[in-house]
Amino acid sequence: MAVTLRALQTVVPPTILFQEQVRDIFAAQPGLSRLAQRLVSTSFNVSGIETRHTVIAELTLDNDATEPQFFDARQQLLLVPSTRVRNELYITEATKLFVEAGRQALAACPDIRAEDVTHVVTVSCTGFYAPGPDYMLVRELGLKVSTQRYHLGFMGCYASMPALRTAKQFVEADPNAVVLVVSAELCSLHLRTSSDPDTIVASSLFSDGAAAGIVSARAPLPGEKALALDLFETVITPVGEGDMAWKIGDEGFEMILSTYVPHIIDEHIEAALAPLFARDASITAQLAAPLQADAVWSPVGATMVAPVLTIATPASLSSVIEHWAIHPGGRSILDKTEAKLDLRADQLLPSRETLRTNGNMSSATILFVMKAILDGPATADGERVCAMAFGPGLTVESGLMTVIEG
């Protein structure tokens, strides 16, 4: 039984942030050191981003808000709203994105009606409320009141991968299950001015967006492209626990995104992929060397014993797997991945284009990349897709998928 992801849809809020304008505003904020000003310019310039989207309508140069909470356009001043103010806006605006993305996914799947949905899995790390987005989807989309609801919260950029894995497990347990998966992130609510390098990097990358899809055992319709969800794996890297983290502060959520993260990924991406590839007979048959299956924690000092990687030369991966959906956490992460795995430039294009036009939307971003791959004219039935997303821990979530065309 093939479990498929269908009807991938993406939604972004209407307010557009132009990277050069945002850079100049952040660099001109009072209290920044000269070093911080240079870091702002460098981080924004090398981000690989041209535009981002935000739910904060007043984050524009021409806004005329009389009582601004986030940005005073007259003084070109970034304000410091409380966590409560930020979360209240999340409740309003995230709900809109969750519902709209879910509605579009259902509309794109004409053989599945609202009343067919048996499970809802929602994903977000940028706000909280209860009853939450899972409840709002049931109410606003007219789903059955008995729909089972699950929310994956505060996991970070990789969370849509375990959401898809959870949906796959539901369908494998009940072939009649229909799971609506929706991710919505409002990262811009937590952007702030600071001289801290990690905060500057985060401010140069993060943005808002939502994505949704339907997971079931139903075959795609004629002409429709979908993704068969083959395998998933989770790996924690031996280092990096303090290099990517997400905490709640009095003035919003505080992101720690160290500039060392790309180096960690460069050193450990092969080991993170090895357990995934080891479970796929068609891939192991094409690689020239065996794969280490797993790593373990040492009870002494809670340190990790990393696997000894015996993967084949990375050059073989670009031919064995046609498409790579890599979470664009930043341009340097994509650069490291492309070089380490010896991928072709065109194989990273969906990730780079998603980053260029939308920035890093945390957990929703990987679904944007998957949709770009499915929508690509060169994507053909039977081709393999490897998806990877990175998040706090440092955690690497990966998955193998197969393109299916109805």
Contact 12, 53 (CB under 8 A): yes
Share of the chain above pLDDT 90, in %: 77
Question: Domain limits of the chain?
Answer: 225-295+306-405
More confident residue, 47 or 245: 47
**Given a cut of 60, is residue 158 above it in pLDDT?**
yes
Residue 226's pLDDT band (boundaries 50, 70, 90)? Answer: very high
The tens digit of pLDDT for each residue in 51-65 reads 999 999 998 888 877
Pick from 326, 330, 324: which is nearest to 344 by CA?
324
Q: Given this model, what pLDDT does residue 50 score?
A: 98
- The pLDDT assigned to 303 comes to 53
Looking at the predicted structure, is the pLDDT value of residue 1 above 50?
A: yes
Q: Per-residue pLDDT averaged across 123-149, rounded?
A: 98
pLDDT at res. 309: 43
Q: pTM of the prediction?
A: 0.93
Residue 157 among the catalytic residues: yes
Predicted confidence at residue 257, as pLDDT, reads 77
Quick one: which of 210, 202, 45, 222 has its CA closest to 137?
210
The answer on pLDDT for 127 being more than 50 is: yes
Q: Express each pLDDT in 264-323 by its tens digit.
A: 888 888 888 988 988 888 888 777 554 555 555 554 445 555 444 445 554 478 888 999
Q: What is the pLDDT of residues 312-349, one digit of tens each?
A: 554 478 888 999 999 999 999 999 999 999 899 999 99
Q: What is the 3-state secondary structure (H, E, C) of 152-175?
A: EECCCCCCHHHHHHHHHHHHHHCC
**Mean pLDDT for the stretch of residues 228-251:** 90
Q: Is 89's pLDDT higher than 60?
A: yes
Task: Write the single-letter amino acid at 84.
Answer: R
Is pLDDT at 173 greater than 90 in this prediction? yes
Residue of 125, 157, 187, 386 marked catalytic: 157
Output the average pLDDT for the chain.
91
231 has a pLDDT exceeding 90 = yes
Q: Which CATH class is domain 225-295+306-405?
A: alpha beta
